[in-house]
């Protein structure tokens, strides 16, 4: 496909998204129907579509509207690129209209702050409350794609050995300061998909901040760990690699469907619970459902779908999870509360409310990470129940 044909495909896909189809679904259907598109084409189209979704507001403002074509034009305009190959010939998008040409010739306007930051209006105050003086720099960082990270399964191998193994495949990596297990892939990330390192559990795809908070919790925990919101098992696997025996629970057990196979591949001691956990535990990790606002670079659709009502719903769920985990924690035990959100309402405010309502608990560690640290935005609070409670 020519670059213009890729842009035409992205325009079509963005129109489907704006018409209500989930982006992933639109991309999958398009890839199936477009046998002529090679893997390079599919990657390029995907990258362009996701960039337009991340930058929906600014691209619409610069491109002249909320259509796929306007979004792609808006991205080009911001980058100072004139789409000369839009000739309408072959698979290229139609030629620029006079209005579009005038738009591209005009100087870049100064955009209103939430538009320039690609942030829904209502959310800006919430980010400001959480990020304060770093709001603009962090939200600007969220306008670009996230780096790709691996977690080295140090129960199986060393980071150096993985670096050599991947280098031989042309996959370039560098250690990342967020975690001693983290490698950032700097070239040819897609080659990993068919690598033995992944198939044999020597590495897992996991954001570096997610690794960092799992390690922070691991540094304080003792004994078997209950992962109360295990989902696909990213944290459970990271904790098991640190030598913990992990029991995995999730309110929706289907989300843990792949976990036994992933654990086997990694040689990890993870027991998937078939029902609600009982008894008491000396260490519980609750990676709670949240807005995902720290990972909106990877899942940018969610930013535009998020609402105040959903935020209220989530904070109520988070309070319930904290209460349930408190009941399951043994006296003197530890509870790790984590989200991949950067909003105070889902983080500090939840922990504050918990401590006000639960005598005999104290917070022994709090950590906030943002994309300025390199990975996703994350929050961790490690809470200890007093031995007498």
Ligand X SMILES: C[S@@+](CC[C@H](N)C(=O)[O-])C[C@H]1O[C@@H](n2cnc3c(N)ncnc32)[C@H](O)[C@@H]1O
- Determine contact, residues 12/30, Cβ cutoff 8 Å: yes
To ligand X, the closest distance from the beta carbon of 231 in angstroms equals 3
User: Is residue 250 part of the contact set for ligand X (CB under 6 A)?
Assistant: yes
Count CA atoms within 13 Å of residue 290 on its CB side: 26
- Cα–Cα distance list, 186 to 39, 109, 140, 180 (Å): 19, 34, 21, 17
Closer Cβ to ligand X, 136 or 373, answer by number: 373
CB 378 → ligand X: shortest distance, Å? 11
Shortest distance (Å) from residue 287 CB to ligand X: 4
Between residues 69 and 303, which has the closer beta carbon with respect to ligand X?
A: 303
Residue with tokens 């477009």: 34
Per CB under 6 A, 232 contacts ligand X: yes
Contact pick of 50, 149, 217, 228 for ligand X (by CB under 6 A): 228
Residue 41 interacting with ligand X (CB under 6 A):
no
CB atoms within 10 A of CB 222: 11
Q: Are 217 and 380 in contact (CB under 8 A)?
A: yes
Q: Which of 7, 287, 345, 376 binds ligand X (CB under 6 A)?
A: 287
170-193 exposure pattern, b = at least 16 Cβ within 10 A, e = fewer: ebebebbebbebbbbbeeebeebe
Burial 76-85 (b: 16+ CB within 10 A, else e): bbbeeeebee
Q: CB 188 → ligand X: shortest distance, Å? A: 25
Residue list, annotated binding site for S-adenosyl-L-methionine: 250, 287
Contact with ligand X (CB under 6 A): which of 235, 262, 303, 385? 235
Range in contact with ligand X (rule: CB under 6 A) among 37-45, 87-95, 249-257, 296-304:
249-257
Per the document, the length of the chain is 389
| Candidates 7-15, 88-96, 181-189, 226-234; binding stretch for ligand X (CB under 6 A) | 226-234
| Contact residue for ligand X among 251, 261, 372, 387 (CB under 6 A) | 251
Task: Tell me the number of residues near ligand X by CB under 6 A.
Answer: 17
Contact call for residue 252 and ligand X (CB under 6 A): yes
By beta-carbon proximity to ligand X, the closer residue of 134 and 324 is 324
User: CA–CA distance from 209 to each of 152, 180, 379 (Å)?
Assistant: 14, 11, 9
Question: Active-site residue 325, yes or no?
Answer: no
Among 75, 139, 226, 229, binds ligand X (CB under 6 A): 229
CB of 234 to ligand X, least distance (A): 3
Rank residues 16 and 350 by Cβ distance to ligand X and give the closer one.
350
Tell me whether residue 201 or residue 289 sits nearer to ligand X (CB atom).
289
Cβ proximity to ligand X: between 115 and 321 the closer is 321
Query: Residue 147: which of 189, 194, 201 has the closest Cα?
Result: 189
Among 233, 300, 371, 375, binds ligand X (CB under 6 A): 233
| Cβ–Cβ under 8 Å, residues 83 and 69 | no
Nearer to ligand X (CB atom), residue 115 or residue 246: 246
Is 224 a binding residue for ligand X by CB under 6 A? The answer is no
Site string for ligand X, 302-341 (x = CB under 6 A): ---------------x--xx--------------------
Q: Could you say which of 229, 325, 340, 363 is catalytic?
A: 340
Q: Applying CB under 6 A, which of residues 230, 270, 334, 381 lies at the interface with ligand X?
A: 230
When binding is defined by CB under 6 A, the residue of 93, 201, 289, 294 that contacts ligand X is 289
* Torsion over CA: 198, 201, 203, 204 (sign): positive
Question: In the complex, which residues of this chain contact ligand X (CB under 6 A)?
Answer: 228-235, 250-252, 255, 287, 289, 317, 320-321
Residues noted as catalytic: 340
């Amino acid at each position: 496909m020519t670059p213009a044909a890729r842009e035409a495909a992205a325009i079509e896909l963005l129109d489907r998204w704006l018409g209500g189809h989930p982006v992933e679904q639109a991309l999958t259907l398009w890839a199936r129907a477009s046998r002529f598109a090679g893997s390079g084409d599919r990657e390029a189209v995907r990258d362009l579509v996701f960039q337009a979704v991340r930058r929906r507001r600014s691209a619409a403002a610069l491109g002249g509207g909320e259509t796929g074509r306007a979004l792609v034009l808006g991205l080009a305009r911001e980058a100072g690129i004139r789409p000369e190959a839009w000739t309408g010939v072959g698979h290229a998008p139609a030629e620029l209209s006079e209005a579009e040409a005038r738009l591209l010739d005009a100087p870049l306007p100064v955009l209103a702050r939430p538009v320039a930051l690609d942030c829904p209006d209502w959310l800006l105050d919430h980010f400001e409350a959480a990020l304060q003086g770093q709001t603009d720099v962090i939200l600007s960082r969220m306008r670009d794609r996230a780096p790709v990270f691996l977690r080295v399964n140090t129960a199986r191998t060393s980071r150096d050995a993985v670096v050599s193994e991947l280098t031989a495949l042309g996959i370039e990596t560098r250690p990342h300061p967020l975690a001693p297990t983290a490698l950032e892939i700097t070239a040819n990330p897609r080659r990993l998909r068919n690598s033995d390192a992944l198939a044999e559990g020597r590495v897992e795809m996991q954001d570096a901040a997610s690794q960092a908070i799992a390690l922070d919790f691991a540094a304080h925990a003792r004994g078997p760990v209950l992962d109360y919101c295990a989902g696909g098992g990213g944290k459970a696997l990271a904790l098991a690699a640190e030598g913990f025996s992990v029991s995995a629970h999730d309110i929706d057990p289907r989300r843990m469907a792949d976990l036994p196979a992933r654990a086997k591949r990694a040689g990890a001691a993870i027991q998937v619970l078939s029902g609600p956990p009982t008894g008491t535990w000396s260490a519980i990790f609750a990676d709670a459902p949240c807005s995902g606002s720290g990972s909106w670079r990877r899942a940018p659709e969610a930013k535009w779908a998020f609402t105040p009502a959903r935020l209220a719903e989530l904070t109520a769920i988070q309070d319930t999870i904290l209460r349930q985990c408190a009941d399951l924690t043994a006296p003197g035990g530890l509870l790790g509360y984590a989200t991949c959100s950067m909003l105070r309402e889902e983080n500090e405010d939840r922990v504050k409310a918990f401590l006000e309502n639960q005598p005999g608990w104290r917070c022994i560690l709090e950590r906030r990470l943002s994309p300025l640290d390199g990975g996703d935005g994350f929050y961790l609070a490690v809470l200890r129940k007093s031995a007498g409670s």
